Amino acid sequence: MDGKTAAVTLKNITKTFGSTVANDKVSLEINKGEILSLLGENGSGKTTLMNMLSGIYFPDEGQIFINGKEEVIRSPKDAFDLGIGMVHQHFKLIDVLTATENIILGLKGKLNIKAATKKIQEICDKYGFEIDPNQKIYDMTVSQKQTVEIVKVLYRGADILILDEPTAVLTPQETEKLFAVLRKMRDDGKAIVIITHKMHEVESLSDRVAVLRKGAYVGDMVTKETNVTEMTNMMVGRSVTLNIERPDPVDPKPRIEVKNLTVRNEEGVVKLEDVSFTANSGEILGIAGISGCGQKELLEAIAGLQVTESGHVYYIEDNGEKEELLGKDPLAIAEMGVTLSFVPEDRLGMGLLGNMDLTDNMLLRSFRKGHSLFTDKKEPKHLAEKVVDDLEVVTPSISTPVRKLSGGNVQKVLVGREIAAAPKVLLTAYAVRGLDINSSYAIYDLINQQKKEGVAVIFVGEDLDVLLELSDRILVLCGGKVNGILDGRTADKNEVGMLMTRMGGTQDNA
């Protein structure tokens, strides 16, 4: 292929978990000096395939050739020895240790921190990483942690690098920096595989794309010769339209008014400082910001789950009557029509109970209704069936414990339940986190429907491109402060990116 040599060749790799076939006779080549994007919907087997390369899983059938020689990879150590390194979606770092200690963890020989630090510095200088080897992990930002992971892989002499959704938690600027490093490593002759759901990143970074669908290998394309629609169609297996609608808001009225809201967390750190804005009915207010900049606290304050220090949150009725929400208990706020669907990093952490089945999780919203001593299971059961039908939730039955569903389906259940409560205000955070492109669009559609029905939607998102396409207005949070409220139709990505990282930006209300 273009005279390139294959660093890794996978031949007829099959892996099953119980009765589920995660990978079905996958054959794939990864070339030296090339960045390969591995595409596929959620559950199409991308991560499983790469985990077999990095020694976490062992294939049931098939062969792996590294640099032309057949190899057996039984453990992460075997993979390291063959020069394969993987940066996992969830970092594998130990918080109380320094970067250096984390990087040399598991290696043999006498402990020599100084020599290790020097070698790490050399790697950093070569590729342009900026980390302090003596810094503790808990002091680091997400992007620094990721850098440590990459350096860890390079320190062990890897020349085949696998990155699983590396940009999910980075700002556009940090992403650019990472890509610059990856390109440098490619030019250095390393083979790089990147798994991502963000199509524009695939286009800007990779040389070739390989597509998996339902565990089977569909084909590969040179990135330059293809486009997003073609790639998506290949992933999904039928043609899909990739347009996020943005209907004009109909008769927007102020619904939620937040005034000078300040929130401190338990340790006394200011999480929100003097935040003021208005959310209108029939409108989507997007909230952009690096994760941990107060998004969670803001939504929880509105939903009555967060202790606030000062400020006001008003709920405004259609007739203009204002009602203070702070100080009300969450149940009363929920009954007024404010619903919160927050998808935390571990997905099940808030909103759903993993060990309960779909029906019982629906019941969580309605068990207080009725006067009988016993709970009414009929309604929730219908609702569960409806959500499964409407949102195409893949589940064996509605009496399956939620934790057994895949991440995307769990999210559909959560969002579906919150929307079914016919809210006046829908608060949603990271609703599409980790979802593939097709499911994501299903969720955007749902949110747009709510908007058309006159719901005030506050949408906290990670993907700036989506925020820019979906939101009517975008509020940018940075370190707990409002750095600007922009018009979603005219704002540009760089501008939002700058506001996300610069402290104390000017506030120009659109």
Report 316-375 residues binding another protein (CB under 8 A): none
Structure tokens at 272: 């929100």
Report 246-285 residues binding another protein (CB under 8 A): 267
- Tell the smallest beta-carbon distance from residue 140 to another protein (Å): 12
Under the criterion CB under 8 A, does residue 149 sit at the interface with another protein? no
Q: Which residues contact 391 (CB under 8 A, 6 or more apart)?
A: 412, 413, 415, 416, 442, 446
Binder of another protein out of 58, 61, 72, 105 (CB under 8 A): 105
CB 4 within 8 A of CB 31: yes
Under the criterion CB under 8 A, does residue 56 sit at the interface with another protein? yes
Stretch that binds another protein, among 97-105, 203-211, 240-248, 315-323 (CB under 8 A): 97-105
CA distance 408 to 426: 19
Under the criterion CB under 8 A, does residue 96 sit at the interface with another protein? yes
Stretch that binds another protein, among 5-13, 108-116, 122-130, 268-276 (CB under 8 A): 108-116
Binder of another protein out of 94, 228, 250, 353 (CB under 8 A): 94
Considering beta carbons, is residue 94 or 250 the nearer one to another protein? 94
Q: Give the Å distances, CA to CA, from 89 to 40, 329, 358.
A: 16, 36, 27
Please name which of 173, 241, 226 lies closest in space to residue 37, comparing C-alpha atoms.
226
Considering beta carbons, is residue 107 or 332 the nearer one to another protein? 107
Under the criterion CB under 8 A, does residue 138 sit at the interface with another protein? yes
Pairing outcome for strands 425-429 and 338-342: parallel
Query: How many residues sit close enough to another protein to count as binding (CB under 8 A)?
Result: 24
The amino acid occupying position 418 is: E
Q: What is the CA radius of gyration of the chain?
A: 24
Under the criterion CB under 8 A, does residue 80 sit at the interface with another protein? yes
CA distance 155 to 202: 26
Structure tokens at 346: 């571990």
Q: Is the dihedral angle over the CA atoms 482, 484, 488, 494 positive or is it negative?
A: negative
Under the criterion CB under 8 A, does residue 97 sit at the interface with another protein? yes
Q: Where do we find the tokens 């990670």?
A: 462
Mapping DSSP onto H, E and C, the string for 324-365 reads ECCCCCHHHHHHCCEEEEECCCCCCCCCCCCCCEHHHHHHHH
Under the criterion CB under 8 A, does residue 155 sit at the interface with another protein? no
Binder of another protein out of 4, 11, 25, 136 (CB under 8 A): 136
Under the criterion CB under 8 A, does residue 115 sit at the interface with another protein? no
Under the criterion CB under 8 A, does residue 58 sit at the interface with another protein? no
Under the criterion CB under 8 A, does residue 107 sit at the interface with another protein? yes
Name the phi and psi angles at 53, rounded to 5: -70, -35
Under the criterion CB under 8 A, does residue 108 sit at the interface with another protein? yes
Stretch that binds another protein, among 98-106, 126-134, 256-264, 483-491 (CB under 8 A): 98-106
Considering beta carbons, is residue 125 or 267 the nearer one to another protein? 267
Binder of another protein out of 33, 62, 76, 505 (CB under 8 A): 76
* Site for another protein, rule CB under 8 A: 56, 75-77, 80, 88, 92-97, 101, 104-111, 136, 138, 267
